[in-house]
Amino acid sequence: MRPCAGCLNGNSHMSLVVMKFGGTSVENPAAISRTVSIVAGRVAMGKQPVVVVSALAKVTDQLLRAAASAAQGDRTGALAISSRLRSRHRDTAAALVKNPGDLMNLIDQKFDALDEILRGLAAILELTPRISDLIVSYGERLSSRIVTAALCEKGINAVHVDARDVIVTDSQFQKAIPQDAIIEKRAGERLRPLVDQGHVPVMGGFIGSNEEGITTTLGRGGSDFTGALIGGALTAEAIEIWTDVDGIMTADPRVCPDALRVKVISFEEAAELAYFGAKVLHPATILPAVKKNIPVLVLNSRNPSNEGTRIISLAPHCKSPFKSIAVKKKLSIIDVVASRMLMTHGYLKEIFTIFDKHKCPVDMVSTSEVSVSLTVDSNDRLPAIAADLSQLADVKYEGKKALICLVGEDIRGQNGIAAQVFNAVRHINVRMISQGASEINMSFMIEEDDADEAVRSLHAAFFKDPDPDIFDVEARKLTAQPAN
Ligand code: ASP
Ligand code: MG
């Protein structure tokens, strides 16, 4: 077959992929070198990558600690954290780039500016969300510079782009809302031409700026969100989320050694799992990609040949009802029990008003004629919440609970699933049950100490004969080989 003109001139058949690398994929020179090879591999395949990176692992936490110390007047402590971070970034740069002079100057400039802010903060003693965002932004501003230089060092045509010029948000510091229309326009202006000229743009995740150019952030873990926003804005062929696990698993492999990789899962299922604590993806990642029907791939930068998990809008039919079992631990259950007002008009509203006042999100609710049970993340405001609730009714609360959540689109309209689930855990005391309105998850609450056993029992019941189109059964076959 004759190659077409498009293939020959090299450009029009290439396809744009957003590659997002998390903190562990850029944590040290070895990790950054792996990341560089992965990007080089995509370029060699004829892909057009746009790279989004997190801060080096743990840097965001350390910047927040520096900010908190400074705001408490511990100027020396704050500057000590900054100085350790400066050395770490300088050492990383030096290990990756042969002539790192310019990069070192850049790193020093940034840390000089950061130190100025920390000193100011130690004088003012007030940490506003706006200053907090400015301080944490250094993590991604630094990592993206180092990764750009490391890519160039290996002959890749990488160009640094300041994420704050593209990710325009509102002014809700620490959890800013991206402005899709402006982002699309900016991505078209700032990123598209670079890609068309054969460059690989590299930008930090997580950070943005409001329309006045003041630095904002998208919330913790927000780099995935940046990846999805950029993928959506540029209508990428795919968004790759490079992390340190093989993708979404049927259960936590540390708890359940025969857990399998889920090869393909729907957006809705993945979002449900993310909410229930499967730490692989930020739930909001899902949205900008869903809107444009762009597949999201979760891949392992320590095992790049693994095909990972593909998240698509409509998952293919699966022979087993569930795709994965997630667990959320450290929960408390609050029982609000019968009193004269129970079930009168406005009662539930009053209960929720109290949770709202304490800024305490509620995970699951179940009501009966005489009681309301709610589950929340265990937190130190519980005694105060209980005191407020006891104005309305008798209140009991108990910690050390876990929520087990089974997710799968194929439970929709299937009879008898609940019976199978509770049969599998019949030896475990179940406190509360809910089937989400989404109809793709079933959750129940148990004692935290029973959680691992529950997951293993459910896994044994539902993943005995896994569908090879959906789950990586090859891996199980390999490990199941007899020893002799
Ligand atoms: N560095 C930020 C965080 O740790 C954002 C991210 O990594 O996604 O929350
Ligand atoms: Mg992350």
| pLDDT reported for residue 365 | 87
> Do 108 and 239 belong to one domain?
yes
| Residue 178 shares a structural domain with residue 57 | yes
What pLDDT does 7 receive? 40
Q: Which pLDDT belongs to residue 75?
A: 98
Q: Considering the domain boundaries, does residue 251 fall inside one?
A: no
- From 167, 175, 207, 223, give the residue whose CB has the most ligand 1 atoms within 8 Å, as the site to mutate: 223
**What pLDDT is recorded for position 438?**
62
Is 174 in the same domain as 69? yes
- Which-ligand-closest: CA of 279? 2
User: Are residues 132 and 233 located together in one domain of the fold?
Assistant: yes
8 Å CB contact between 42 and 75 = no
Of all protein residues, whose CA lies closest to atom 5 belonging to ligand 1?
221
Average pLDDT for residues 241-266, to the nearest whole number? 91
Query: Per the domain annotation, does 465 fall within a domain?
Result: yes
CA-closest residue to ligand 1 atom 2: 221
Q: Which of 61, 206, 218, 280 is the best mutation target for the ligand 1 pocket, counting ligand atoms within 8 Å of the beta carbon and taking the most?
A: 206
Question: Which range (18-22, 301-305, 318-322) has the least confidence?
Answer: 318-322
| Residues flanking ligand 1, CB < 6 Å | 22-23, 54-55, 60, 139, 205-206, 220-223
Task: Ligand 1, residue 54: give the atom nearest the CA.
Answer: 7
Residues 230 and 357 in one domain: no
**Atom nearest to 55 CA in ligand 1:** 1
Nearest protein Cα to ligand 1, atom 8: 221
Q: Are residues 223 and 350 in the same domain?
A: no
**Residue 482 falls within a domain, yes or no?**
no
**Distance (Å, whole) CA 64 – CA 131:** 11
Q: Which of 209, 229, 244 is the last residue of a domain?
A: 244
Residue 278 within a domain: no
pLDDT for res 477: 67
CATH number for position 215: 3.40.1160.10
Residue 11: pLDDT over 80: no
Q: What is the pLDDT of residue 9?
A: 42
- Mean predicted confidence (pLDDT) in 218-244: 94
pLDDT score recorded for residue 229: 95
Report DSSP letters for 140-207, one per residue.
HHHHHHHHHHHHHHTT--EEE--GGGT-BB-S-TTSPPB-HHHHHHHIIIIIHHHHHTT-EEEEESSE
- Regarding whether 456 and 368 lie in a shared domain, the answer is yes
Query: pLDDT averaged over the chain?
Result: 90
- pLDDT score at 288: 85
13 or 47: whose pLDDT is higher?
47
Q: What share of the chain is helix, strand, coil (3-state, %, to 5)?
A: 45, 20, 35
Top-ranked range on mean pLDDT: pick from 8-22, 128-142, 252-266: 128-142
pLDDT at 371: 85
Boundary of a domain, candidates 244, 266, 288? 244
pLDDT at 289 over 90: no
Q: Are residues 239 and 328 in the same domain?
A: no
What is the pLDDT confidence band of residue 441, given thresholds at 50, 70 and 90? confident
Distances (CA, A) of 137 to 143, 180, 230, 367: 10, 21, 18, 44
- Tell me if 277 is assigned to some domain: no
Q: Contact 354/390 with Cβ under 8 angstroms? A: no
409: its two tokens: 């689109």
Instruction: Specify if 196 maps to a domain.
Output: yes
**Of all atoms in ligand 1, which is nearest to the CA of residue 220?**
9
Q: What is the pLDDT of residues 366-387, one digit of tens each?
A: 887 778 899 999 888 999 999 9
Query: Which of these three, 244, 272, 307, is where a domain ends?
Result: 244
Q: Is residue 85 part of a domain?
A: yes
Is residue 260 assigned to a domain?
A: no
Whether the per-residue pLDDT at 6 is higher than 50: the answer is: no
Q: Which atom of ligand 1 is nearest to the CA of 140?
A: 1
**Structure tokens given for 135:** 């301080």
Nearest ligand atom owner, CA of 206: 1
Q: Are residues 53 and 166 in the same domain?
A: yes
Q: Which of 60, 230, 279, 298 to mutate to test the pocket of ligand 1 (most atoms within 8 A of CB)?
A: 60
- Domain count within the chain: 2
Q: Please check whether residue 424 is in contact with residue 356, taking contact to mean a CB–CB distance below 8 angstroms.
A: no
The CATH number covering residue 351 comes to: 3.30.2130.10
Ligand 1 atom closest to the CA of 224, numbered from 1: 8
- Kindly state whether residues 236 and 328 are assigned to the same domain: no
Highest mean pLDDT among 128-142, 317-331, 405-419 belongs to: 128-142
Percent of the chain with pLDDT over 70: 91
Tell me the percentage of the chain whose pLDDT exceeds 90. Answer: 72
Structural domain range at position 416: 324-477
Is there a single domain that holds both residue 228 and residue 372?
no
Do 208 and 334 sit in the same domain of this protein? no
**The one-letter amino acid at 385:** I
